[in-house]
Amino acid sequence: MSRSLVLGNGNILLCFDKFGQIRDFYFPYAGLENHIGSGNVHKIGIWVDSTFSWITDPGWQVSTNYQNETMASNIVASNETLGVELSFLDIVYNEKNILLRNLKVTNKSSSARVIKVFFNQQFQISETSHADTAYFNPDVEAVVHYKGRRVFLVGGQIGKKRFTDYSIGIFKIEGKEGTWKDAEDGELSKNPIEHGSVDSTVGFYLQIPGNTSQSLEYWITVAETFREARTLQDLLLSKTPSHITETTQNFWRAWVNKFNFTFYKLDTKLVDLFKKSLLIVRTHSDNNGGILASGDSDNFRYGRDTYAYVWPRDGAFVASALDRTGYFDISHRFYQFASEVITSDGYLLHKYQPDKSFGSSWHPWVKNGKSQLAIQEDETALLIVGLWEHYEKTRDLEFIENLYNSFIKSAADFMVKYREGFKTDLPYASYDLWEEKNGISTFTASSVYGALIAASKFASILGKVEDKNKFESEANEIRDAILEYLWDEEVGYFYKLLVLDGKVLKKDKTIDISSFYGVYKFGVLSPEDPRMLKARAVIENRLRIETAVRGYARYEGDLYYEVTRDVPGNPWFITTMWVIQYDLSLAKNEKDLQDVISRLDWVVKRSLSSGVLSEQVHPMNGEQLSVAPLTWSHAEFILTVVHYLERLEKLGICTVCYPLK
């Protein structure tokens, strides 16, 4: 189940499902640790007229969205049979580690009724189910879950009166299902404490006249000690929940409108998705620098891992989107993060945890009995390319000077050495962009070319002439080798990759969209080059999805989340926007631009109502597949809109559209 809404503040990341229930609760990093186990959920239930219903039961109509231009939820759940409507306005306080859920309960019956609302907590603290403790603390009038230095204080109130009922119980062991079952008769047992694998439920009992509403507030404060968690609740109550809700919304409205973009002739739905994408990306940006691929842990149920890692590749695209929209502080922290995790040999590993430790990987360090580097070289190259873009926007020369020897030069020297010198002078084999095949891929070779050009520019501005000349010369050799060895004149496209088998170069002729995009993106060829125009035609013939859903696949024969062999692969948001970005670069006038940018409506139609973009979509029905949200998808949407605004200015159509020159 994809996540329909995400909230966060750089220390907390919360992911909600389509019913408005919390599925992922990350702390103290955005992406580490997830304190709700895979398959667990913080359930929401209603008891009215002697009938109990969980919000996931039939009869509920639930819509999930954001409050306009802010990182606050707008969730409405209605049940006509029960005559009840629930309206949630949820925030994560931008200044402190507090989740606050403001709930308005509407009695749609003409008669006064008692309506009971139950919030169930299924914590699995520090991602294990053993040795947790939950208890009711009468001093703070709250339920406390804790293990070690992770403390969650669950509280709430109706007006000034705290929640009415509670219970703590054994969860998923010893034949016990949990206290959520205790709620189904409309009363909780008030069991005060349990340890091991535990859950808890709190109840709010409201007496609501006919056709009127009553509100309640539910919160969770999270900290490393009980004293700090209690202090956070005291802060919440002294400032008042309504004040914190209002100031948090005001902060995010100001944040997302930091710069005055003139969205020239863009549909309001595109502008709305642009702003939502910025907010969603921000929730996945940890305050310590890591940028998470996705907080959606549900993928674990269908694979062996989640996307809750910092991929240098994904992070580089997200950082580019942030730089080109003026959020330099976040990208600055990301590049600092990268400079601290790069190896002494000058390359980045496959992926990392947000605490800078090495993430899980499937890239082997031995192949056919011989040692190899288990890397995707593009992940190192992309960061140097992105860092140059960061410098162009910020002109922060001191930051660059501090990173030059330890990061920029170290990575560039590695890329210079890591070359296949026997036959091609191309970069040596590594795993491709899609993390599947080992070889000399067109995308990686192009990214290395772009990175060495960027390193040469850095050396030039710092007066390091020898480095400047070396990196530029090596880059040009790689460019020449790309055009000599990776262009397939017969097909009019670039090879996916080459594999050196002894003294024989084997060519993988799979049509892969990254081969096209990399050559254009990193400046190996200009968009107008005849070879690029030929390759664009091949994409249209071989990778476009010929169903009503449309979009573009990654490559021919893509099996990841395969639905049918009748299409080359599932359409991805990323690849579809790559094609739009390229076509924007060819636009010569306003009509051309409008024709191309109108195709972004495809993205809006395939997004969730909340604006969340997944990794890919079903080629037959358009439903989202794989993780959602995927920050890379949102970054590409942001970059596409920015590309449009930049092109408007370059063509002289709108001279004030893009405020960041």
Cβ(496)–Cβ(510) below 8 Å: yes
Looking at the structure, tell me whether residues 555 and 605 fall in a common domain: yes
* 575 located within any domain: yes
Express each pLDDT in 213-257 by its tens digit.
999 999 999 999 999 999 999 999 999 999 999 999 999 999 999
Looking at the structure, tell me whether residues 582 and 470 fall in a common domain: no
Token pair, residue 67, equals: 């409050």
| Number of domains observed in the structure of the chain | 3
* 493 located within any domain: yes
Look up the CATH number of the domain holding residue 433: 1.50.10.10
In sequence order, the 6+-apart residues with CB closer than 8 A to the CB of 213 are: 104, 105, 106, 107
Among 527, 551, 573, residue at a domain's last position: 527
Looking at the structure, tell me whether residues 412 and 560 fall in a common domain: no
% of the chain at pLDDT higher than 90 = 91
* 349 located within any domain: no
* 351 located within any domain: no
Task: Over range 520-526, report the average pLDDT.
Answer: 97
* 347 located within any domain: no
* 18 located within any domain: no
Other CB atoms within 10 A of residue 370 CB: 6
* 17 located within any domain: no
Looking at the structure, tell me whether residues 205 and 94 fall in a common domain: yes
Looking at the structure, tell me whether residues 275 and 243 fall in a common domain: no
Looking at the structure, tell me whether residues 164 and 55 fall in a common domain: yes
Amino acid identity, residue 388? W
- What is the CA 147 to chain-centroid distance, rounded? 28
Task: Over range 485-503, report the average pLDDT.
Answer: 93
d(CA 372, CA 367): 7
Looking at the structure, tell me whether residues 639 and 492 fall in a common domain: no
pTM value is 0.96
Look up the CATH number of the domain holding residue 84: 2.70.98.10
* 28 located within any domain: no
Among 200, 222, 256, residue at a domain's last position: 256
pLDDT of residue 102: 98
> What proportions of the chain, in percent to the nearest 5, are helix, strand and coil?
35, 25, 40
Express each pLDDT in 546-569 by its tens digit.
999 999 999 999 999 999 999 999
Looking at the structure, tell me whether residues 126 and 243 fall in a common domain: yes
Looking at the structure, tell me whether residues 606 and 660 fall in a common domain: yes
Looking at the structure, tell me whether residues 646 and 501 fall in a common domain: no
Among 223, 256, 289, residue at a domain's last position: 256
183 or 422, which is more confident: 183
Looking at the structure, tell me whether residues 516 and 563 fall in a common domain: no
Looking at the structure, tell me whether residues 549 and 478 fall in a common domain: no
Least confident of 5-9, 336-340, 375-379, 419-423: 419-423
State which residues form the domain around 431. Answer: 363-527
